[in-house]
Structure 1
Amino acid sequence: MKKNIAIIMGGFSSEYQISLKSGNVVYQHLPKEKYHAFRVHIFKEKWVYVDDNDIEYPIDKNDFSVTANDTKITFDVVFNAIHGSPGENGYMQAYFALLGIPQTSCGFYQAATTFNKRDLLAILKPYGIKTATSFYVNKGDAIEVATIVDKVGLPCFVKANNAGSSFGVTKVHKAEDMMNAIEVAFKEDDEIIIESFLSGTEVSVGVINYQGTVTVLPITEIVSENDFFDYEAKYLGKSQEITPARISLTQESNVSTVAKLIYKVLKMSGFSRSEFIFIEDTPYLLEVNTIPGLTEASILPQQAAKAGITLPELFENAIEMATLK
């Protein structure tokens, strides 16, 4: 009997358009002989099932069901394709845990932890995982630019603590530009992390549970045409994404070991894509994404393809692993 799969997409953050693209790719590639797929748009103002004629049917939040054409539909598994809030920060994971509906991403604790850059770094540092020097600022704090520069140096990165897709991120070259960068970050979040600039090869490492085994996918090297791997570089073709990465066997081994360690330490499930910069042969962690882009051009699907895993196989595996949690 076919399983009913709700593919949730959209979200509350600046990443909602990217999420809609990811969700639609999942919808297109899920094996139709095995699954009934339903596109579910999650926005602040509405939760709706959208059929192939773009007719919307409201979701009953009490049990995450929908009634369409006088038929009540419930779901066996939720495929989570929401980048940012509420799909990547633990909210949806906790909601589905309470309802007892399996979902494809990590658990609510892991999602909340990885989405909060400060908390993630604090948890991982005792395990010897290297990171940039950082400085924290909350909205309303007295800000002394000289103190920040003394700690992290210039250039540095000002980032929204809880955001993705490089929204709220600015590379600051001069002290007089710091306050403007902080204001940009505060538009995305009321917490900021300011990090020292690391100069080296940047790589993205996908880790998934594939058929019951924690698997590191082929590594991608990021070469941005812009000053850093920003929104344009990620989504508007302003970068080269080279898989496999042009790194040494030592670097490949080191970063694969660290990426797998992070996945296991955090007791992850589902997808994980971690970003690193090499200082010589040592990988320094930048961030961990638990709902990475899932379009044909996105990094993790590119990596899966190099590993011989097609999009239907990748998505089906995510669903089947979710039912085993």
Structure 2
Amino acid sequence: MRVLVIGGGQNAEHEVSLASAAAVAGALRSGGHDVSEVTITPEGVWRVPGQRDATTAVASLASALPLLAEVDVVFPAVHGPLGEDGALAAVCALAGVRVVGSGPRAGAIGMDKWATKLVAQAAGLRVARGRLMEAADIGDAEFDGPVVVKPVSAGSSYGVGLAREEGDLAGALREAARFDRRILIEEIVRGREIDVAVLREARGVRWAAPPLEIETSGLFDTATKYDGTARFTVPARLTPGEQSALSRAALTMFDALGCAGVARMDFFLTDDGPILNEVNTMPGLTAASQVPRMFAAADVAYVDLVDRLVRAAEVPGR
């Protein structure tokens, strides 16, 4: 198949997205697909190999759009806002082009941690108690115990901080506000950090891969995520009941959001069962990322995984 892989993006996950896109493109070529690539710079300029670089974002997008007519599928390996949040899927929907992954609605809701919590609760899943705050109101924030502070729409744990004492709160809020004007303040949940990946195959069959456990000495923040100090165990050591509960919860959330392709659901496993932390509708996709590791544990090799994603691609909204 002719596949256009889009990497980069206009957010803090730019470098992570470049790595995912390069890995995906390489795997697709290994699987026999005809691959072309486009990179979106942090300034929003679309760079097409072999074409002269445009000077503005709008001019570059105009020059890149004809590529959509030349491919069978678009693989938007762009994490974070203006990518994973459904923006690129919306472009493909307007053009009537098949796209890997979730459509605009699921991407937008999944990127918004507050909206995700509301959907999860409506679907019968447990979430951490929390409240929403505007960056403009940081000066009025009151400390009511140790909390986790997060930007509402950001990935790779950028802007996530822990306020154990009152003096920590203002700094944590300011850091989160660097990434989004909306900030989520949540109670601290104590439990094992377990991720579950769900894949929707061609013809609509969807299934959960063996769960993965993240083991770290502190908060699983951006530094810990990428400096190699966190340990991933897959399959996670779980009882049959725990694994069943996590898989059911992951599939429930996947369906509630209307996800497609692959999505990663992050949970805390407590003594009372799973608590949903967040959803990633375009998770990291290098061979060493969490999602490919989980499917490798189910005997789905990396090249096979990206091939399945391409073959399951659909035009959003149809």
Q: Same fold (TM over 0.5)?
A: yes
State the partner residue of 1:117. 113
Q: Which residue among 161, 175, 178 is the counterpart of 2:152?
A: 161
Q: Residues 64 and 74 of structure 1 are in contact (CA less than 8 Å); yes or no, is this contact kept in structure 2?
A: no
Q: Does 1:218 align with 2:218?
A: no
* Correspondences of 1:179-194 after superposition (within 5 Å): 179-194=170-185
Provide closer, same or farther for how the CA distance between residues 280 and 33 of structure 1 changes in structure 2, counting only shifts above 3 A: closer
Structure 1 stretch 185-194 or stretch 306-315: which is displaced more? 306-315
Q: Residues 121 and 131 of structure 1 are in contact (CA less than 8 Å); yes or no, is this contact kept in structure 2?
A: yes
State the partner residue of 2:234. 243
Provide closer, same or farther for how the CA distance between residues 62 and 56 of structure 1 changes in structure 2, counting only shifts above 3 A: closer
SS of residue paired to 1:131: coil
SS of residue paired to 2:136: coil
Letter of the 1:202 counterpart: E
Q: Which residue among 78, 100, 106 is the counterpart of 1:104?
A: 100
Q: Runs of 4 or more off by more than 4 Å in structure 1?
A: 55-60
- How many angstroms apart in 2 are the aligned matches of 1:45 and 1:207? 30
State the partner residue of 1:37. 35
- Once the two structures are superposed, residues 267-299 of structure 1 have per-residue CA deviations (whole angstroms, 9 ceiling, x without a partner) of 210110011001214100000001111111100
Provide closer, same or farther for how the CA distance between residues 30 and 56 of structure 1 changes in structure 2, counting only shifts above 3 A: farther
Structure 1 residue 49: Cα displacement: 2.1
- How many angstroms apart in 2 are the aligned matches of 1:278 and 1:143? 34
Provide closer, same or farther for how the CA distance between residues 79 and 209 of structure 1 changes in structure 2, counting only shifts above 3 A: same
State the partner residue of 1:48. 47
Q: Residues 207 and 214 of structure 1 are in contact (CA less than 8 Å); yes or no, is this contact kept in structure 2?
A: yes
State the partner residue of 2:194. 203
Q: Residues 74 and 98 of structure 2 are in contact (CA less than 8 Å); yes or no, is this contact kept in structure 1?
A: yes
Q: Residues 138 and 174 of structure 2 are in contact (CA less than 8 Å); yes or no, is this contact kept in structure 1?
A: no
Q: Which has the higher strand share?
A: 1
State the partner residue of 1:18. 16
- Once the two structures are superposed, residues 285-321 of structure 1 have per-residue CA deviations (whole angstroms, 9 ceiling, x without a partner) of 0000011111111000001111111111111111111
- How many angstroms apart in 2 are the aligned matches of 1:78 and 1:174? 46
Provide closer, same or farther for how the CA distance between residues 143 and 248 of structure 1 changes in structure 2, counting only shifts above 3 A: farther
Q: Residues 114 and 288 of structure 1 are in contact (CA less than 8 Å); yes or no, is this contact kept in structure 2?
A: yes
Q: Does 1:85 align with 2:86?
A: no
More contact order relative to length (CA 8 Å, sep ≥ 6) = 2
State the partner residue of 1:65. 66
Unpaired runs of 5+ residues, structure 2, are 55-59
Q: Residues 115 and 162 of structure 1 are in contact (CA less than 8 Å); yes or no, is this contact kept in structure 2?
A: yes
Structure 1 residue 144: Cα displacement: 3.6
- How many angstroms apart in 2 are the aligned matches of 1:42 and 1:287? 26
- How many pairs align? 309
- How many angstroms apart in 2 are the aligned matches of 1:16 and 1:207? 24
State the partner residue of 1:76. 72
Q: Does 1:307 align with 2:298?
A: yes
State the partner residue of 1:321. 312
- How many angstroms apart in 1 are the aligned matches of 2:201 and 2:227? 30
Question: TM-score scaled to structure 2, two decimals?
Answer: 0.92
Question: TM-score scaled to structure 1, two decimals?
Answer: 0.90
SS of residue paired to 2:5: strand
State the partner residue of 2:125. 129
Give the share of equivalent positions with the same residue, in percent.
Answer: 28
SS of residue paired to 1:262: helix
Unpaired runs of 5+ residues, structure 1, are 67-71
Structure 1 residue 45: Cα displacement: 4.0
Letter of the 2:132 counterpart: Y
